[in-house]
Amino acid sequence: MFVKLTGSDRTSTVINASQVTFVTQVADGTRIRFGEGRSVTVVEPLDEVMERLNRTLSFPDT
């Protein structure tokens, strides 16, 4: 499932939640990493990003 967020340059950014490998807070907002060394920084805070990603049900229950 795709999640729409706002990139650090204030443009809309759509990510595939099932491809996310790592999420971390940075000075500009939140950095979302994907496979193969790709990443995007969004302005939403870490907690909001995690809530949106979890709503997609793309992550297994732990």
Q: What is the largest CA-CA distance in the chain?
A: 34
pLDDT digits (tens, 9 = 90+) for 42-57: 999 999 999 999 888 6
pLDDT digits (tens, 9 = 90+) for 6-62: 999 999 999 998 899 999 999 989 999 987 889 999 999 999 999 999 888 665 565
User: What letter represents residue 3's amino acid?
Assistant: V
| Residue-level pLDDT at 13 | 92
| Residue-level pLDDT at 56 | 80
| Residue-level pLDDT at 24 | 96
In the block, tokens 């595939």 appear at 16
| Residue-level pLDDT at 12 | 95
Query: Residue 22: helix, strand or coil by DSSP?
Result: strand
Query: Residue 36: helix, strand or coil by DSSP?
Result: helix
In DSSP terms, which residues pair with 5 in a beta bridge?
13
Answer whether 5's CB lies under 8 Å from 13's CB. yes
